[in-house]
């Protein structure tokens, strides 16, 4: 992985971590009072918070690995490739669960038809990723 690409991936992952934290905070500010009052479904609300936590930390760990891949001469090529591949996988995990969150929020507020469509689109995305991710992740050292 080129140094400039690895550095850009660090920045993108940090930005996605920050966005995930902002979404998490938004969920707490607006939905937690409704959760306490029993106005929203408890299980999807809590699942959404867990999903946002997984997304946030996946992006944060991806940033760490991409940073390791950007270190140039301080890290060997085999380690840089390993860090980049781990960063790719963590970034993907973060994206997958981040894209699940909207359907969970819609289930939380009781918009079942819309939530079902969002969930179906998420499943299509998941299948797309399973099929295409192996071709776009950092190539193995060898």
Q: What is the structure's pLDDT at 50?
A: 94
Q: Is the dihedral of CA 59, 57, 36, 44 positive or negative?
A: positive
Tokens 């060898």 correspond to what residue? Answer: 142
Q: What is the structure's pLDDT at 3?
A: 56
Band the pLDDT of 136: cuts 50, 70, 90.
Answer: confident
CB-based contact 96:129 (threshold 8 Å)? yes
> Which pTM value belongs to this model?
0.82
Q: What is the structure's pLDDT at 46?
A: 94
């Amino acid at each position: 992985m080129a140094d400039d690409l690895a550095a850009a991936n660090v920045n993108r992952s940090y930005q996605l971590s920050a966005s995930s934290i902002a979404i998490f905070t938004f969920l707490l500010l607006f939905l937690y009072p409704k959760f306490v009052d029993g106005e929203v479904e408890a299980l999807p609300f809590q699942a959404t918070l867990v999903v946002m936590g997984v997304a946030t930390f996946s992006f944060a760990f991806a940033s760490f690995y991409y940073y390791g891949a950007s270190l140039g001469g301080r890290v060997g090529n085999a380690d840089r490739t390993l860090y980049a591949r781990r960063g790719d996988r963590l970034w993907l995990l973060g994206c997958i669960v981040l894209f699940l969150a909207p359907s969970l929020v819609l289930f939380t507020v009781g918009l079942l038809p819309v939530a079902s469509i969002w969930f179906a689109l998420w499943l299509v995305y998941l299948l797309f990723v399973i099929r295409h991710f192996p071709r776009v992740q950092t190539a193995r050292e060898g």
